[in-house]
Amino acid sequence: MVTKKEARQPLTNNEIRTLMLQYFYDRNRNATSSRGKKGSSVKISDVKRELKAIDIRISQWGEYFDDVMEHPSKYGIENTKDQCAGRAIFKEDATPCRNPSAFYFYHAGHPSTAVHKAVGAMLFEELAHSVKTEKGRRE
């Protein structure tokens, strides 16, 4: 949970958004990349150090998507190669397949709701474990 650490009061979504946007704006407004583009890469350790009022955590979301791809039947996924529906914007047939929850990809390159649901459950468990472990250390 994002909190105001000094008072342990939750920050509002708008306060979080404002802090994050201001942080990245301030950090990147004068930076130039090696390709001449404005902006710079940011290390999560720098963000944590500079935005002490916000609890920022790294997740294993990429590994979770990989797990669903590598063990699809465990999550009820039957097809990891084809898309369930095309995109009208690309002049493809946008009619969804008969069973979207059995597909890894809803659109080409975009995971289906079933995949997001599985990954979301894993993220929830990771965060719950992280908070529980942190709470145990403080007691």
**What are the sequence ranges of the domains in the chain?**
3-50, 61-138
Between helix 113-138 and helix 61-70 the angle, nearest 10°, is 130
Q: What was the pLDDT predicted at 86?
A: 95
Structure pTM?
Answer: 0.62
How many residues does the structure list for the chain? 139
Tens digits of pLDDT across the chain (139 residues):
444 455 556 777 677 767 766 666 666 555 554 445 555 555 666 766 777 767 777 788 889 999 999 999 999 999 999 999 999 999 999 999 999 999 999 999 999 999 999 999 999 999 888 877 766 665 5
The first and second tokens of residue 8, run together, are 């342990």
Q: What was the pLDDT predicted at 1?
A: 47
Closest by alpha carbon to 69, among 127, 124, 111, 123?
111
